[in-house]
Structure 1
Amino acid sequence: MPNIRRTRRTQHLGLIGMLLIAVAFAGLQLTAVTGRASPDTKNYLSYALSLSGESRQDAGRLAIGYSCASGQHAPLNTIPWTSRKASGESEEQCVRRLNDSVAYWSGHGNTSGMTAPFANQRFMAIFEARPGYPLFLVPFVTAFGPTWGLWLAGLVVALAGSVCVLLALRAAGASRRAGLAGQALYLALPTGTVAMNPLSDGLSLALGTAVVLGCVLLLRDRPRTGAALVAGGFALMFLVRYSQALLLAAALAGVFLAWSGWLRLKRRRPAPVLRAAGLCGVLAAIVYAGAHLLSWPMGQDSAQDLLTHHYQRPDLPDPWPEFFVQERVFWSAWLRRQATYPVLPVLLALSAWALLRRRSVVLPVALGAGAAGLLNQAGHPNLDQLLGYRLIVFVWLLPALAIPLLLDRSAVPASPRVPSPHVAQPKNVRSGQRDGAVRVVEQIPEST
């Protein structure tokens, strides 16, 4: 009975801590209900309003009104990519400019689709291929209007992602304080900022944390629940941002394959890791095939979009040589930026320390997520994104998942709970207790 009461008290403390973090974050976000709009916000909002029953013309008008009023006091000098207005532009000038743009593109062929004609039809097709986020927004903007609806949607997305991080750490055997630290880090780092912005990146990130949780459960002997979370997370990510789903699935498959090779060298059974690699690999192939069958924009289109200023110039016959020049320019500038403001390098160094000092199934999963962030940024080497965290945001999952493990005193086995074939089991241990030592190791962090 005392043990049961202590367990319940621990669970209650964990729940209270999680709620306190969530309430504190929500209170801080009330200081910036507006001011988060980016140039792409109006595209998603007009799509959502069209889905809610507004005509395409009215949806565009309402989206323009929100976009031009939302960022009136945005700190343009610190996060320029969130600005939806030109510097010094009044709200009236902003509305006039966007209305003129709608009239121009309507007269130049953009007469169909769910999004308002803010640009040429080929560019707007990028947003037409992301119906998941507008569908998610519909109940929020219908019930609360654009301003509060988008804010509440962002809050739900941010808190959901933070809870998935907490659960992933706990499922991996981390202590309660490590799980709460992971939740707080997720909300304090750019992951929380991106989640609150009215763009598809935040919802894609939250679904990515659900995939992370599923992978941890898959590796911790919960195959059905884990596989369902992984498959469901990727299915929803496909509708929200299929390119990120493809990169995350491929990165996780690659990391799991490398991990299984390491386990073979150590003469340990890699079966659970191979199953996770196979599942992620199959899902990556399905995502790619689905996007291709639906004729959604692919890598070639993305390169042309970057090099032709959103298809406003003629396509390049072969975009890849210039694209790789842009890669070199971007990453050189990015590295100089990190040297000047080394927040991410310091956090990645702490994450590397956690990788060396702790053994947990969450660490390889976090490595896969971080690799997906780098790949996503590499696919969009745009210097305009240099000061933002939107495209590379999955990299920040690595410190959010790894650093909290340093709070635990004992290490958790990195490999799934499968005994090594070369380790002899004691004969004088009763049936069902052979892995008692392993269980003790796993339970120590639970009570710290």
Structure 2
Amino acid sequence: MTEQKATLTLNEHKAVVLDFNAGTGGPAALDIQPFGVEELFTYDPGFTHTAGCESAITFIDPRNSVLLHRGFPVDQLASQCSFLEVCYILLHGEAPSPAEFATFTDTITRHTMIHQQMSRMLSGFRRDSHPMALMCAVVGALAAFYHDQLDVSNPEHRELAAVRLLSKMPTVAAMCYKYSIEQPAVYPNNSLSYTGNFLHMLFAIPAEKSEVNPVLERAMNRILILHADHGQCPSTTAVRTAGSSGANPFACIAAGLASLWGPLHGGANEACMRMLEEISTVDRIPAFISRAKDRHDSFRLMGFGNSVYHHFDPRAAILRKTCHEVLAELGMEDNLLQVAIELEHIAMTDAYFLENKLYPSADFYTALILKAMGLPPSMFTVISAVGRTIGWIAHWSEMHGQRPQIYRPRQVYTGKARRDYTSQL
């Protein structure tokens, strides 16, 4: 195969030769590093056409709705794996042997406890604080408790940090939730699976016996897997950007949490449920559908369509099946669930939705499942964060294995030209 090159002519006498960087899938990237010699740089708002790194973790094909983790199709992982098995794959690149998985699971399980002072730290926050605000604070504060193992250049330290974050994130998430609803935190139960233990800490009450519903456990397992990683999304880029400075992993994951919180990213599932609350009843749906079709109306249906995939989100089909399994188990007498199911029917049959490829997204079905489980909308993004933590860790670890270059995007300056200052005082 002939090596491809591109030539950029700057003027009649000067040309810059650029190489192509081709990966194992997707379009090739034009290597613009020679621009630096010529004191040039590109302009790409949002970096939507710029590859800022090389990664072997996740591949996304927007045109064909393909999502691969380490080469494995996401639907196969969601139907065959436990969440911890997917975690191992994302971290290490290959599926574990039985012995490797047993060791990995045991290590994660034995790190689920958090320091009691973390619980006392929460008491300084208002009870009505958003759980994501608490998550950002508590996860960032973990660095204060594990400052002895923060040499990011040491692979063993990176491995230990990964274990601590992965094992403690459900505990932190459940603790933040319990604090927000004025219930006592529930200790981890190491006899349960990762997802079973998470559900136990979310819903158990210390004074009562608690059992984990296997249908809900399977649903939570799929939700965590399908949120585990999604390439260079805003939160992963935030983790990589923070990590490129050499910041400790807990600070980097806190940066990812802050980015994920936004309604155009991980907060979309919460925004979807807020939309359903605004619609409130099935008889009001036609009016909101008319508004959604009106280009002059600012209202938009949250949870329909996807900014990444040209056709449909491959995760949505799996979550749709899971959603209906959960609703069959728990029932759907709630008004908002009835509104959601009717919206789903419209999206699958209405010509406007079909022509514009506004299919229900992974965020839509995630919101319905979590609502049916009894969680408030403020917790939806927290659940996504528990799943996405492994993706953040994998990218953070990968970039340090590659000796990262600090992220330093350029800008097109549009301010005042140089001018002299004369005091007016």
Whether the TM-score (by the shorter chain) exceeds 0.5 is no
Normalised to the residue count of structure 2, the TM-score between the two structures is 0.27
Normalised to the residue count of structure 1, the TM-score between the two structures is 0.26
Higher helix share: 1
Relative contact order higher in (CA < 8 Å, ≥ 6 apart):
2
